[in-house]
Amino acid sequence: MKSLSSKSFERQVAEQLYDTASLTRRSDRLARSATNRVAGWARFRDAGMARAAAGAIRSADLRRMDLLLADFSARFEHAGGVVHWAPDAADAREMLTAVLREAGAKTVVRGHSATLDEIGTDAALTAAGMDGVHTAFGDRIIALAGEPASHPVYPASHHTREAVAALLHDKGGEALCRTPEEMSDAVRARLRPVFLGADAGVVGANFLLADTGHVVWAESEGNVRLCAVLPRTLVIVAGIDKVTASAENLPVLLATLAAAAGDKTLTPAISVIRPDADSVRGRRIHLILVDNGRTQRLASPATADTLRCIGCGACSDACPVYRLAGGTAFGMRRPGPYGLATELGEHEPWRRRQLAMATPLCGACTEVCPVHIDLHDALVAARAAPGHALHGLRMRILLAAYLWSVRDHARFAFGAAVFRKLVVALDFVRDTPFNPVEAWSRHRTLPESPPRTFRRWWKETGGIQPPNPVNKP
């Protein structure tokens, strides 16, 4: 999903900030999920140990990804499934539509999956003349609203209950509901016959088990399970990073995922299935393994760890930018730090340059990640990618001046003093374009210029202490 807006990120943020009702609602939701997470982690005897174990499992998986994928696909195919290898998104789309066309599919039910969105499933189905039906509640809502996701796990989290009811009524053709239960009943009633009549199910995956050939889904609604077992044809689209060595890893991974995602206990619906299960045996079950830049990410130390992700959404909820800017402003599948670190390449160049800088690098995301992804490193790497650097003439000039001066102490002392005196002298025109630090001064005062620099103080006094400069009240 590309950016749906041509507005600058700062502009979108401004709109979000004036929308105090959604700001409050978001803060409330974040506070609630923080409480749930605390409760979730409290269930562990040693939460730190669980996170370390989950991180170690994912890290080991990535180191042997090629071997594990070979094992998994052999076992999945032995059980009657078909595995396709897609080097990029376009290949994956082609494979998906080819499989569906061969199966004669008209109506396709799909589950919530960042990988399905990544390869552009909706557009591909439409282009192939098929009817793709979103079966995840949140996905239906944002599809009706025509908006990007506002959260990696809960894409419609930005809407009020009333707004969701209105969307379902006005655009979804449902009766006007009042309670969440009424809404989910209405959608369930509408989807039940669609599930039963669908020609194919298209879903993502949470984990692929290399030692057994099983596919694992963890979801809150159970719609993925229905997509998987009801239609004649099933296509699973999964990133190559989803493979994990063994079924023995599942208890740790699923428990960690649930706690980090803020589920009170385990994720409500967990399905583990292989093509030779009685309920699906004899069906056409295809699995498309998508690379689409993952091997490249794995090759660089700063970004390799991002492939450990188990999709809990904790990094977004911890992010102060996410809290203020809201999810939709990012225009990403995974709005927040993870999206900033991994999805920039899909955006238009001007937006890429903006979003690359849209984080204070506070590291709150790294701190909460249950599998210890260093998102801080990945965010810096995203900035360092060609064409992602600073935008704006003023910033470029400031950076060039800094880089010129920093290589030599005489230059540095001279350049920094000139800069300091210049911005102080120009403070009287602070709200005009003549102010070189206008972006700073718009909302903040400048510090006072000291009588002498530390450098000069040291030279003049040799480090002899003047009276304590802090005045007591």
Considering only residues 44, 362, 372, 427, which one is a binding residue for other proteins as defined by CB under 8 A?
Answer: 362
Q: Find the binding residues for other proteins in span 304-323 (CB under 8 A).
A: 320-321
Q: What is the CA radius of gyration of the chain?
A: 26
Q: How far apart are CA 261 and CA 151, in angstroms?
A: 12
CB of 163 to other proteins, least distance (A): 24
Considering only residues 406, 422, 425, 429, which one is a binding residue for other proteins as defined by CB under 8 A?
Answer: 406
Please say which residue, 166 or 417, places its beta carbon nearer to other proteins: 417
Q: Which of 288, 282, 219 is nearest to 254 (CA)?
A: 219
Q: Are 109 and 201 in contact (CB under 8 A)?
A: yes
Pairing of strands 200-203, 207-209: unpaired
Q: Say how many CA atoms lie within 13 Å of 157 toward its Cβ.
A: 27
Asked if 366 touches other proteins (CB under 8 A), the answer is yes
Q: Which of 62, 58, 115 is nearest to 369 (CA)?
A: 58
Q: Find the binding residues for other proteins in span 386-405 (CB under 8 A).
A: 388-392, 394-395, 398-399, 402-403, 405
Asked if 196 touches other proteins (CB under 8 A), the answer is no
Asked if 426 touches other proteins (CB under 8 A), the answer is no
Strands, DSSP E only, in 224-375? 233-239, 243-244, 269-273, 284-290
CB of 472 to other proteins, least distance (A): 6
Considering only residues 49, 367, 414, 434, which one is a binding residue for other proteins as defined by CB under 8 A?
Answer: 367
Considering only the stretches 5-13, 241-249, 283-291, 309-317, report the one whose residues sit in contact with other proteins under the rule CB under 8 A: 5-13
Pairing of strands 131-134, 200-203: unpaired
DSSP letter (8 states) at residue 429: G
Interface pattern 143-182 for other proteins (x via CB under 8 A): ----------------------------------------
Q: How far apart are CA 236 and CA 129, in angstroms?
A: 20
Buried b (16+ CB within 10 A) or exposed e, 127-137: ebebebbbbbb
Beta bridge partners of 237: 288
Considering only residues 5, 14, 44, 266, which one is a binding residue for other proteins as defined by CB under 8 A?
Answer: 14
Contacts with other proteins by CB under 8 A: the residue count is: 77
Considering only the stretches 11-19, 143-151, 220-228, 238-246, report the one whose residues sit in contact with other proteins under the rule CB under 8 A: 11-19
CA 412 to chain CA centroid, nearest Å: 40
Asked if 408 touches other proteins (CB under 8 A), the answer is yes
Question: Beta-carbon neighbour count of residue 171 at 10 Å?
Answer: 14
CB of 444 to other proteins, least distance (A): 3
Asked if 229 touches other proteins (CB under 8 A), the answer is no
Q: Which of 327, 288, 272 is nearest to 99 (CA)?
A: 288
Considering only residues 165, 376, 378, 435, which one is a binding residue for other proteins as defined by CB under 8 A?
Answer: 376
The helix/strand count (H/E) of the chain reads as: 24, 10
Q: How far apart are CA 137 and CA 161, in angstroms?
A: 13
Considering only the stretches 129-137, 196-204, 303-311, 380-388, report the one whose residues sit in contact with other proteins under the rule CB under 8 A: 380-388
Asked if 349 touches other proteins (CB under 8 A), the answer is no
Considering only the stretches 102-110, 215-223, 253-261, 453-461, report the one whose residues sit in contact with other proteins under the rule CB under 8 A: 453-461
Considering only residues 5, 7, 13, 47, which one is a binding residue for other proteins as defined by CB under 8 A?
Answer: 13
Q: Find the binding residues for other proteins in span 76-115 (CB under 8 A).
A: none
Q: Find the binding residues for other proteins in span 246-305 (CB under 8 A).
A: 301-302
Q: How far apart are CA 296 and CA 241, in angstroms?
A: 12
Asked if 454 touches other proteins (CB under 8 A), the answer is yes
Please say which residue, 179 or 434, places its beta carbon nearer to other proteins: 434
133 φ, ψ (degrees, to nearest 5)? -110, 120
